[in-house]
Amino acid sequence: MSTCRTGTGPLTAAELEDWYAVPLGRADGTWVRAGLVTSLDGRAAGPDGLSGSLNRGSAGDHAVFDHLRRWADVVVVGAGTVRDEGYGPLPAVPLVVVSRSGDVPARLRRAAESGTRDGPAVVVLDGHGEDVDPGRVLTEVASRGWRRVLLEGGPQLLGTWLEADAVDELCATVRPVLVGGDGPLLVPRSTSLRAPVGSTTHLLAWEGDVLVRTRLR
């Protein structure tokens, strides 16, 4: 049975801590959150193909984005999102880049291979032509003591993790805009789920946006 908690923003840092407090996770303490932004018609990017244009001007999404990064032990991102959105080493949290093709920006590849970095750590996991199994990622991060995992995209990565039943919670900002076109959906059409998943537990209205926390497993 699903429950629903509603509220309105803006929230202070302490109130965000309470709003996004996590229950007990898996037996080993792991908790996997996916943090993404979407339009009303389910698009994960603006007309230019970038999520940055979709969340531009969203105070609530930026506040939650910063909070989730502070919460996380590690951020996991697909290589396509890294290339499109211009990711570099993060200043305060380790970054894991998963890549089917091994096409990772040189700056991140050098940071991962040399051990020199601007941020705490960069790890590149190469699938050598295949999707990188979420179990492999979780094993790798757990071996480093990283239990609070934040997926930041993109949709293809989210779809792979959903199919593997590896996401505990989705934290999505729903922006009151329509994008149209054939851009990426929050969950790709190719994603195969055995049954609908998710129970909405938190809905936060913040300056026109709706921030949703949905427990997935």
157 with 98: CB under 8 angstroms?
A: yes
Length of the chain: 217
Segment 157-208, tens digit of pLDDT: 999 999 999 999 999 999 999 999 988 999 999 999 877 888 888 999 999 9
The DSSP string of 98-136 is EESS----HHHHHHHHHS--SSS-EEEEE-TTSPPPHHH
- Burial bucket for residue 203 (CB in 10 Å: 0-12, 13-18, 19+): middle
CATH number of 5-12+30-215: 3.40.430.10
Q: What pLDDT is attached to residue 2?
A: 67
- Burial bucket for residue 210 (CB in 10 Å: 0-12, 13-18, 19+): middle
Q: What pLDDT is attached to residue 84?
A: 87
The model's pTM: 0.91
Segment 82-123, tens digit of pLDDT: 898 888 888 889 999 999 888 888 888 888 877 644 457 889
Q: What pLDDT is attached to residue 107?
A: 84
4 with 203: CB under 8 angstroms?
A: yes
Q: What pLDDT is attached to residue 115?
A: 64
Q: What pLDDT is attached to residue 117?
A: 46
- DSSP element (H, E) containing 152: strand 148-153
Q: What pLDDT is attached to residue 144?
A: 93
**DSSP bridge pairs for 99:** 126
List the end-to-end C-alpha distance of the chain, in Å, as a whole number. Answer: 13
How far lies 44's CA from each of 139, 165, 209, 217, in Å? 28, 20, 15, 22
**pLDDT confidence band for 13 (50 / 70 / 90):** very high
For residue 162, count other CB atoms closer than 10 A to its CB.
22
